[in-house]
């Protein structure tokens, strides 16, 4: 389960932002999570509360908010976009396999709410 490592990375980044901006407490962290990223949202929530309590100075009660970015694939042959999870790498419009992921693999810290 690499979600624990991901949470540790987020904590490190947010703690650095706290120091740079003289923040004393973080009340929430909003993450953007791509639908086909390798991070499992349920596992992320499972480790969040433990990790911020044990490994963070400024985030001990911070709420984790996750926003899902839908996975969208583009077909080079017919120039159409389609939902990746439903159809995979094969374009449902023309059957081509000349496709690539436009979005849905992201993992971003979107917003930090603190004081």
In a domain, 96, yes or no: no
Show the domain range for 55: 3-69+104-114
Cα distance between residue 25 and residue 79, in whole Å: 47
Complete edge-to-edge strand list for the sheet that includes strand 99-103: 81-83, 72-75, 99-103
Query: Is 99 inside any structural domain?
Result: no
Asked whether residue 93 is domain-assigned, the answer is no
Q: Report the first-to-last Cα separation within the chain, whole angstroms.
A: 32
How many structural domains are present in the chain? 1
Q: Is 86 within a domain?
A: no
* pLDDT score for 54: 87
pTM summary value: 0.86
Average pLDDT over residues 14-29: 94
CATH, residue 57: 3.30.2320.50
pLDDT band at 55 (very low <50, low <70, confident <90, very high): confident
d(CA 40, CA 2): 9
Residues 6+ apart with CB under 8 A from 42: none
* Farthest CA pair distance, the chain: 55
Average pLDDT, the chain: 94
pLDDT in tens, 75-110: 999 999 999 999 999 999 999 999 999 999 999 999
Residue 84 within any structural domain of the chain: no
Predicted pLDDT at 115: 81
Pairwise CA distance, residues 84 & 67, whole Å? 18
Classify residue 62: in a domain, yes or no. yes
Mapping DSSP to helix (H, G, I), strand (E, B) and coil, where does residue 53 land? Answer: helix
């Amino acid at each position: 389960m690499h979600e624990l490592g991901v949470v540790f990375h987020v904590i490190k980044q947010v703690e650095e932002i706290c120091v740079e901006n003289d923040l004393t407490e973080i009340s929430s962290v909003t993450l953007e999570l791509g639908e086909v990223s390798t991070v499992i949202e349920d596992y992320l929530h499972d480790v969040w509360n433990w990790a911020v309590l044990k490994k963070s100075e400024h985030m001990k009660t911070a709420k984790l908010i996750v926003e899902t970015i839908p996975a969208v694939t583009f077909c080079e042959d017919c120039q159409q976009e389609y939902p990746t999870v439903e159809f995979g790498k094969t374009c449902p419009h023309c059957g081509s396999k000349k496709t690539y992921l436009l979005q849905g693999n992201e993992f971003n810290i979107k917003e930090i709410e603190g004081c």
